[in-house]
Amino acid sequence: MSAASTSTSSTSTQPKPSSVPSFHDVVDVTSYDAMLARKVTALRDMFATLLRDDGPCDGGDDDAPENNSTEILPEVVSPEVFPSPPKHFRSRCRFQIVAEDVKGTAGDDCRPNTRKNRFSYRLRENGEITGAIETFPMALLSVNEVMPLLLETLDNDETGALALGLEAVHFLAARRGGMHITFLYSRSIGHDETWRVAATRARETMLESLSVNSKDENHKTKHDPTALNLLGRSKNVAVSIGPVNYVVEELTLSDGKVLTYHQPEGAFSNPNAFVAEHTVDWLVDISRTTVAAAMRGLRTDDENENENAATPHQPSLLELFCGNGNHTVALAGSFHAVAAVEISKSLCQAARLNLTRNGIENARVFEAPSEYVARAMLKKRRSGKATAGTGDNPETNPDDIKSLDVTKDSIKFLDVSQYDVVLVDPPRAGLDTDTLALVKQFPVILYISCDPNSLFQNATCPKYGLAATHKLKRFAVFDHFPYTKHVECGAVWVRKDLA
């Protein structure tokens, strides 16, 4: 995810190298802390009234007392800041491939006056391409290691099949091993056996150069199917070279628990696993602290007195825009049941694989647009079919989610009254009106935002703003995209009578 938000352009008067596009700054690790500080300051300014709890933000509370004081209140909520490593943090990269004719010399296979291609990586901006990229310090070290090997492989392919029509390459990597490279072509490669042979040879050559097929019997990458795989794509064609088309990322929580994630080629995955690790750990902490405190406020005195009973109440979670289950996997252990909704078929498949991979049995993934789910749940509530309380309606009890056929039709079983907490991680535009109206029905709202402007709009809009009914209790800054203006943030909202 990326977001257009705060501006952090470099203040240096030195011109950028031609290889650096305008949408990010030169990677300078000595400037990283200052750049992040500017992002945090901009967010503090944007969310000042919410962080200070200056009063109602619904734009129209006629009963609220007038406050003419010019005193600036101290922050009630202090932003929690989670930095990225200053370099080698990005696991997904896309580059254009540019070939230039170079006149041969006597050193080029002793064939002077011949011409051959020399290849380089470029970035694209507004239809134009940048200067050649020698290294890419934002990418993981493993990506930087493979980048020159790939160009060398293109240079040395005597058939020319790998380079013919090659427009771009995508790198997808995992921090602890695993690499997938996708070749994008303007020509069809579907029936090109020469390409398949050349690509197979290229994979074998790069594997040997990287020494990932270790002779050490205990080396975990010796038989790792994700070590290095290739995929050729042209219109309506995908040709795999290697056993799998995914990598496996690991995220470690602060309690030492290791979560593993299947990240398929061509589907969204978080490009900065270091900050993704911070994000899921923060959400788990929220579930154990802020959510738990709010749930105590929902219970009766008798229920609170018996909270240490053999079967204490656990809240249930509705997650919208769940993606590949990054947050679902981490949070499932903190909730009685989880219903996760995602529109993308490939991401739903990945999310289900990740639930299975991590041994999670109390969560289900539903393939549907979140706005569709919101309208259906709101319609059920307005028609009076929703049942108050948590788990009181046998037709829609969260326990039933475990046995549902997770098709679009099964969305009808979802009942807003059966879930105590909602988690949303919407696209850059933020929440639509229907989804915003739905999430306000929940006592606790967890909001991960890839555009702080959209989050602020969703919080303060006059009719459906979150701040009218909920109080901001936690606020976090996640620097997924160093050296750019993009920043993500997390906000936890608790209904005002429980805050």
Which residues are designated catalytic? Answer: 450, 488
Q: Are 322 and 342 in contact, with CB atoms under 8 Å apart?
A: yes
Which residues partner with 317 through β-bridges? 338, 421
Contact partners, residue 356, CB within 8 Å, separation at least 6: none
Task: For residue 305, give the amino acid letter.
Answer: E
How far does Cα 83 stand from its chain's mean position? 16
Q: How far apart, in whole angstroms, are the C-alpha atoms of residue 314 and residue 291?
A: 10
DSSP state of 157: -
Q: How far apart, in whole angstroms, are the C-alpha atoms of residue 333 and residue 130?
A: 46
Task: For residue 459, give the amino acid letter.
Answer: A
DSSP state of 399: G
Contact partners, residue 463, CB within 8 Å, separation at least 6: none
Q: CA distances (Å), 282 to each of 75, 337, 409, 478, in order?
A: 20, 20, 33, 10
Contact partners, residue 191, CB within 8 Å, separation at least 6: none
Please identify which residue in the block is written with the tokens 């997650």.
Answer: 319
Contact partners, residue 388, CB within 8 Å, separation at least 6: 417
Using DSSP bridges, classify how beta strands 166-173 and 128-129 pair: parallel, antiparallel or unpaired: unpaired
Q: How far apart, in whole angstroms, are the C-alpha atoms of residue 452 and residue 47?
A: 9
Instruction: Output the six-digit token pair for 208.
Output: 């040997």
DSSP state of 133: B
DSSP string computed for 459-479: HH-TTT-GGGTEEEEEEEEE-
Residue 258 backbone dihedrals phi, psi, to 5 degrees:
-105, 125
Task: For residue 432, give the amino acid letter.
Answer: D
DSSP string computed for 4-18: ----------SPPPT
Q: How far apart, in whole angstroms, are the C-alpha atoms of residue 469 and residue 497?
A: 9
Please provide the distance, in angstroms rounded to a whole number, between the alpha carbons at the two ends of the chain: 30
Characterize 361-373 residue by residue with b for buried, 16 or more Cβ atoms within 10 angstroms of its Cβ, and e for exposed: ebbbbbbbbbbbb
Q: How far apart, in whole angstroms, are the C-alpha atoms of residue 52 and residue 58?
A: 15
A 10 A CB-CB count for 438 gives 26
Comparing C-alpha atoms, which of 218, 271, 233 is closest to residue 249?
Answer: 271
